[in-house]
Amino acid sequence: MSQPHVAILDDEAEIRRMLADALTDAGFRTSTFSRATEFEAALKRTAPDVCLVDLGLPDRDGLALVHRLALESGATIIIISGRANISDRVTGLELGADDYIIKPFEPAEVVARIRARLRKSRPAGGSAGSIAQFNGWEAHFERYVLIGEDGVEVPFSHAEGEVLRLFLEAPKRLISRMQMQETLGGAAGESFDRAMDVRISRLRAKLNEDPKNPRLIKTIYGAGYIFLGDVVWR
């Protein structure tokens, strides 16, 4: 099995070195960048498994970059930032980040969170493959796209894909908020709940669901969600 590749974007040289050393010792491949422009250029040549992104960048708005990564890449996105306000954490998660780590941090915690995220990204042992067919749609989890009956491709983010896969692996079964938190990771509370609401809302929009009367992803108020489609994996 090849070593997972972690791309580190931070304008502080000491933090880049500290993270790269810890991740290399833990068996990861790393690449480091101080500016968003060089980071984005590198992404055109290679696709990392994980992106660690600082929000305080000298040449780009960090949150805008996170949002673009969430829409266009299949990587796990983890924000590393000195911004500790709940509003910043919620915004980062709403824009598509998979996790948010506040500076200062212990490198061992970053390694542990990356490992946990990569474990959650793998298909469960009982899953048949990376393509799910349901209600006229195909979800391609290796490419992070939905394909409709008209052949049009609709991209989804890694974070949205985690939620969609959770539903598709348990169709017609109630999935509680607690189950989502335990499976997808993250601290329980308002920021996690809001991040889930945003991801589900975006999935419904991409599946052309009526937000007032969704046919596939139903909200069971006070209990959780249930996916009502018939799913075939291949």
Bridge-based pairing of strands 76-81 and 50-54 is: parallel
SS3 207: coil
For 189-203, the pLDDT digits (tens) are 666 777 788 889 889
pLDDT above 50 for 15: yes
- Provide the CATH number for the domain formed by 5-121 in this structure: 3.40.50.2300
Cα angle for residues 34, 36, 40 (degrees, 5° grid): 120
Residue 125 is predicted with a pLDDT of 46
- Provide the CATH number for the domain formed by 131-233 in this structure: 1.10.10.10
Residue 1 is predicted with a pLDDT of 47
Residue 2 is predicted with a pLDDT of 66
SS3 58: coil
Residue 161 is predicted with a pLDDT of 87
Residue 178 is predicted with a pLDDT of 85
Contact indicator for 70, 78 with CB cutoff of 8 Å:
no
User: What backbone phi and psi angles, to 5 degrees, belong to 126?
Assistant: -85, -5
Can you spell out the DSSP letters for 4-34? Answer: PEEEEE-S-HHHHHHHHHHHHHTT-EEEEES
Residue 130 is predicted with a pLDDT of 86
DSSP 8-state code for residue 60: S
For 32-57, the pLDDT digits (tens) are 999 999 999 998 888 888 999 999 99
Distance CA(93)–CA(86), nearest Å, equals 11
For 133-191, the pLDDT digits (tens) are 999 999 998 888 999 999 999 988 777 888 999 999 999 999 998 888 888 766 556 66
Q: How many residues does the chain have?
A: 234
Residue 187 is predicted with a pLDDT of 55
Domain ranges of the chain: 5-121, 131-233
11 vs 198 pLDDT, higher one: 11
Contact indicator for 224, 163 with CB cutoff of 8 Å:
no
234 vs 11 pLDDT, higher one: 11
For 79-136, the pLDDT digits (tens) are 999 998 888 888 888 888 888 999 999 999 999 999 988 876 655 444 447 899 999 9
- pLDDT class of 72 with cuts at 50, 70, 90: confident
Residue 18 is predicted with a pLDDT of 97
Residue 89 is predicted with a pLDDT of 87
Residue pointed to by tokens 């075939």: 232
Give the chain's mean pLDDT.
87
Helices 13-25 and 107-121 sit at what angle, rounded to 10 degrees? 60
Residue 17 is predicted with a pLDDT of 97
- What's the token pair of residue 144? 């992070």
Residue 45 is predicted with a pLDDT of 85
